[in-house]
Amino acid sequence: MTLDEIEARLHEAITTLAALPDRERAWLKGGTTSWPPVLRDMGDVLALFYERKAQGKAGFDAMTAPRPVADPCVIDRMDATMAWLRGMERRDTTIIVLRAHGMSFERIAWRLKGKSE
């Protein structure tokens, strides 16, 4: 594998892992409700749009994008790729993860500067 292919595999694995739902998080967070999620109909969406426009905001910023659904093949590749990180030190894996999320090397260096001592 070339370095570009390794970088692409790491980026795909880390973004896939970030996109997967974390079902245990709700138990740790607490204070959740057992009600099902509210499904908006077109009238609610338009009312929210016009209300936000009247406030001078962008029309659909309030709505969150749905989580991407990961393909089983991508999850299998993610599992194999994450095994590469198992033997690395925590600091090195932190650099790889932050870089995969688009953070510049300069910001990573500033972020990790105090943790090296």
For residue 57, the model assigns a pLDDT of 74
Predicted model pTM: 0.58
Please spell the DSSP secondary structure of 62-95, one letter per residue.
TSPPPPPPPPHHHHHHHHHHHHHHTTS-HHHHHH
What pLDDT does residue 55 have? Answer: 79
- The mean of the pLDDT values for the chain is 79
pLDDT tens digit sequence for 28-82: 666 566 665 565 677 777 777 787 788 777 766 645 556 667 788 999 999 999 9
The pLDDT value recorded for residue 60 is 61
Choose among 7, 2, 3, 4: nearest CA to 81. Answer: 7
Nearest to 108 by CA among 117, 97, 82, 84: 97
Q: Which of 12-26, 34-48, 68-82, 96-110 has the lowest mean pLDDT?
A: 34-48
